Chains A and B, each alone.
Chain A
Amino acid sequence: FYRTRTRTRTQIKPDSVNSVISASAAHLLRLHQRFQFLDKDSRGSLRSEDLEAALSENPIGVRIVGAFFQQETVDFPSFVRILAHFRPTEKNRTRDGVQPDPAVGRKCPSSVAFQLYDQDRDGKISRTELLQVLREMLGLQVTEEQLQSIAERAIQEADLDRDDAICFDEFRKSLEKVNIDHKLSVRFLE
């Protein structure tokens, strides 16, 4: 993706993006427009502040940005690639869930969600991490002890190997009745 200096004329060379995911030009154009809108300083890449500004009302907005957009600056191909994680892929879409699409390097949505909890990337959700998420989500509505009880109970329910933390498999297992992959899909980029 190449972009000229002036904002008015942009050349979109879809090669680098399309080799990563297949999407129609119209969708890419729309995303590109959105990208430009978010990129207030016209730098050609987004910083986390720009993204967080878009998510000002979301209680876990900061965390989401931190989890999904891990680089310092996000250029357009990575922007699209990350968002494409949430796209339901046509050929793999079955009742049971979306298979990770190896061609794309696409992870299944639940691992993306796991990253949300697991800030320090050690592969486990510890009690403190869970407490932080709960605190952000519930905020002022509950007291600290209540938060701790909830976190305690959650870990007790999900933690099967008794290491006081939830690893990725336990996470998936605790949500097996909920069809995560279907729940975590948004229709776009088709």
Chain B
Amino acid sequence: GRDRQRDRRLQSAETPPQQTDGEDRNTEDFQRLHGNPTICCLKSHNPFSCLPAVFHLSQRFTTVVPESCMLILLGLVLGGVVLIASKKQLYQLDPALFFLFLLPTIVGDAGYFMPARLFFDNLGAILTYAVVGTLWNAFCTGFCLYAAKLLGRVQADLMDFLLFGALISAVDPVAVLAVFEEVHVNEMLFIIVFGESLLNDAVTVVSAHLYHTFRGSEVSNTRRGGPSFLIVSVGGTLVGLVFAVILGFITRFTKKVRIIEPLFVFLLVYLAYLTAELFSLSAILMTFCGIGANKYVEANISQKSRTTVKYTMKTLASIAETIIFIFLGISAVDKSKWAWDTGLVSCTLVFILLFRAVGVVGQTWVLNRFRLVPLDKIDQVVMSYGGLRGAVAFALVVLLDAEQVKAKDYFVATTIVVVFFTVMFQGLTIKPLVKWLKVPRSTNRKPTINEEIHERAFDHILTAVEDIAGLQGYHHWRDKWEQFDKNYLSKLLLRKSVYRKSELWEAYQKINIRDAISVIDQVGGPGRVQMGSGKRRTRGTQAWNQSISSLESVSSPPAPAEPVHPRVSALSRLGGSRPASYTGPVGVAPAQAPPPAAFCFPERKKKKPVEEEEEEEEPGASQEMQPLMSALKPPGVPQAPPPPQAPPGRRRNPCVYLRSLVTSPPGGGAGPHSHRPTQL
């Protein structure tokens, strides 16, 4: 069944989509061109991708209507236009396009920026919901639809309904991301729903496969169900992990070829996806490639590469999401593909909502006996309401064999309605619901050094408690993993210079740099800095002292209310406090690229005084930084803690200067500093 699905995907990539019989012959060439998924992709990209930009101009509108809704509506409109204009549907959500190009982009992006600690802390809950929940939904929906068959005209047997139940019961990662990233619920809730949507792919694949083989009424195949599921899921994960190790290992040696570092990241993540697809494993589980590789890759590659990877991935994922939703809208209008049956549609809607709610409540009750942080009623409401279906279900239904499954057209129609309903209606109403229920929202907290220190201490404490009590609990194994990582894995995958650094020190530096940047923003940048010809040093120092004293008087610089694209902020906010994945200050003047060049990490300064990144400072980047930096004369020797008034250095080395301020012991500053030490 899965092989057939795969072949079909490849086939449909080559042949043009089926059309209703032959009207204009001169459109055949047109068809052949449009059948090609790449061209389809490109053609759709151009007019549509500017639309979200236009859409975001209207702030009020965007706060109420989620982007996904708008895109689907737009697709509907466009599909209608095309239908009217040419009397038949030219565009279609091509499953090959979807599974080969669009889905890996989104899934790869999600995996790479997934907050790993939070994910693994909640892994038990996520796995329960993904496996048990999806199976429960699938069975119940299938059986009940079969029982309710009498209500409608649909001719299908139990197997068909079970198959349909399996396809429609999986929560969809694309839809969940699209809707939840506008709602900003607290991280734990988000990670549980989103993790579930990622991990249930294996369940869906195996169930669908099972029912396909059941239809052949070979009873002996039933025994393959269990092991088959394990193979598919564990295999997918292993493929992801293997590629994660390869990726980490490669990035260890890319110091001389910094330019193509992002390329390795994209290539290997995509390769992981394709390999999993090749072996008919669950390809979505290759998110573990991103999760695993993130820590090592982010530590190994340069700051510019980090920025490139982050923004390119986000952009591609955004484009893919846009295309998916618009095509969903367009495909819906093609009446030749589906057949309406009111009974089936309404029953399906009712059943999926009902069984989702029941399933969530039941599983939560069981889970709460094992979890430390209980999931209360509000969480359960949000979780059951947030079980959105999306394009994956639609693509899988379209892939069904029409000869084998006679009722395919009815299923397609039902899937379209269900997907529309969940994405649009639930997407629209989830925000007011969250507000009304007073769901704890995600706190946009800046990481403080206290939190970093104490969290590490707490980890040690808990491990100690478990060791003393002889328990082998979560912390015990986590500690073992950390030891293994430190002694073997990091040595293998991290660059030597990176390996020796301490995470806490890195976190400390990043916090300082972030404060420095926000202070400079406040001070007003180039306007306030005196760039006089003579006495540059004292003027520069004065400006610096000004910024220092303003830092001391301001306890926490307010984050500017800058409309960052939700996709950029959602996942990166979650990963923001992790040292290795720091990719630049979010929310601080992202109108320019975050200043990668000026604040390269000081450890590199130890080895090479001139880093090529510094020379290639982007002109737009950190405009405020440059005049300030050029006004300061850096010390020549980065090693010893030099006083701020250092002999004029040979080169501009703002990093070194900053570093010296960072490492200078309290009281080492001269000039009109207060007795309080400089923290910059």
Contact = CB atoms under 8 A, between A and B. Distances in A.
Of A59, A88, A178, A186, which is in contact with the most chain B CB atoms at under 10 Å from its CB?
A186
Given A93-B374, A150-B453, A187-B473, A113 B505 contact: no
Given A157-B448, A188-B473, 17 more contacts: A31-B470, A54-B467, A60-B464, A61-B464, A95-B440, A116-B461, A137-B456, A141-B501, A142-B504, A148-B666, A149-B508, A149-B662, A153-B449, A153-B679, A178-B454, A179-B373, A187-B473
Interface string B450-481: 11011111101111111111110101000100
Contacts of A142: 502, 504-505
A21 interface: no
23 contacts: A31-B469, A33-B470, A51-B468, A60-B460, A60-B461, A64-B461, A64-B464, A83-B465, A95-B376, A141-B501, A141-B505, A142-B504, A148-B665, A150-B453, A153-B511, A157-B448, A174-B451, A175-B450, A180-B458, A182-B373, A183-B455, A183-B458, A186-B469
A150 B454 contact: no
A175 B454 contact: yes
A187 B502 CA distance: 31
Interface in B188-216: none
B450 A174 contact: yes
B457 A113 contact: yes
Interface in A145-190: 145-146, 148-150, 152-154, 156-158, 174-175, 177-180, 182-188
A142 B471 CA distance: 32
B508 A86 contact: no
A22 interface: no
A57 B450 CA distance: 24
B449 A184 contact: no
B457 A177 contact: no
Given A95-B376, A134-B453, A57 B679 contact: no
A104 interface: no
A88 B505 contact: no
Contacts of B440: 95
A58 B470 contact: no
Interface in B470-501: 470-471, 473, 475, 479, 483, 500-501
A54 B471 CA distance: 12
Nearest to B368: A93
A25 interface: no
Contacts of A1: none
B471 A186 contact: yes
Nearest to B373: A182
Contacts of B501: 141
B372 interface: yes
A81 B395 CA distance: 58
Contacts of B370: 187
Contact of A55 (B374, B462, B467, B677): B467
Contact of B500 (A88, A141, A157, A186): A141
Nearest to B500: A141
B508 A150 contact: yes
Contacts of A34: 468-470
B445 interface: yes
Nearest to B676: A156
Contacts of A58: 460, 463-464, 467
Nearest to A112: B461
| 6 nearest A-B pairs in the assembled complex, by CB-CB distance | A34-B470, A141-B502, A174-B450, A64-B464, A154-B449, A177-B445
A152 B500 contact: no
Interface of B: 370, 372-374, 376, 440, 443, 445, 448-451, 453-458, 460-471, 473, 475, 479, 483, 500-502, 504-505, 508, 511-512, 641, 662-666, 676-677, 679
Contact of B458 (A113, A148, A153): A113
Contacts of B469: 31, 34, 83, 186, 188
Nearest to B121: A183
B117 to A, nearest CB: 12
Contacts of A20: none
A37 interface: yes
A158 B189 CA distance: 29
A184 B448 CA distance: 19
B460 A177 contact: no
Contacts of A183: 455, 458, 462
A60 B460 CA distance: 7
Contacts of B511: 153
Q: Looking at chain B's contact residues, is the secondary structure mostly helix, strand, loop, or mixed? A: helix
Contacts of A117: 457
A30 interface: yes
A152 B677 contact: yes
Q: Looking at chain A's contact residues, is the secondary structure mostly helix, strand, loop, or mixed? A: helix
Contacts of A180: 458
A53 to B, nearest CB: 10
A56 to B, nearest CB: 9
A146 B463 CA distance: 26
Contacts of B464: 55, 58, 60-61, 64
A133 interface: yes
A137 B665 contact: no
A30 B462 contact: no
Of B370, B469, B471, B508, which is in contact with the most chain A CB atoms at under 10 Å from its CB?
B469
Contacts of B468: 34, 38, 51, 54-55, 83
A59 B461 CA distance: 10
Given A116-B461, A152-B677, A177 B502 contact: no
B457 A95 contact: no
Given A137-B457, A150-B505, A157 B374 contact: no
A146 B502 CA distance: 11
A83 B505 CA distance: 32
A70 B266 CA distance: 55
Nearest to B448: A157
Interface string A66-95: 000000000000000001001010000101
Contacts of B641: 145
Contacts of A57: 479, 483
A148 B450 CA distance: 14
Contacts of B512: 153
Contacts of A182: 372-373
Nearest to A96: B440
Contacts of A150: 449, 453, 504-505, 508
Given A83-B465, A113-B457, A145 B448 contact: no
A76 B605 CA distance: 55
Contacts of A184: 458, 461-462
Nearest to B661: A149
Contact of A177 (B372, B374, B449, B451): B451
Contacts of B460: 58-60, 64, 137
A63 to B, nearest CB: 9
A113 B372 contact: no
A30 B679 contact: no
Contacts of B462: 86, 183-184, 186
A94 to B, nearest CB: 8
A141 B490 CA distance: 15
A57 to B, nearest CB: 7
A177 B454 contact: no
A61 B459 CA distance: 12
Nearest to A56: B467
Contacts of B449: 150, 153-154, 157
A187 B472 CA distance: 11
A114 to B, nearest CB: 10
A186 B464 CA distance: 11
Interface string A23-63: 00000001101100110000000000001001101111100
Nearest to A166: B450
Contact of B454 (A31, A113, A141): A113
Nearest to B556: A157
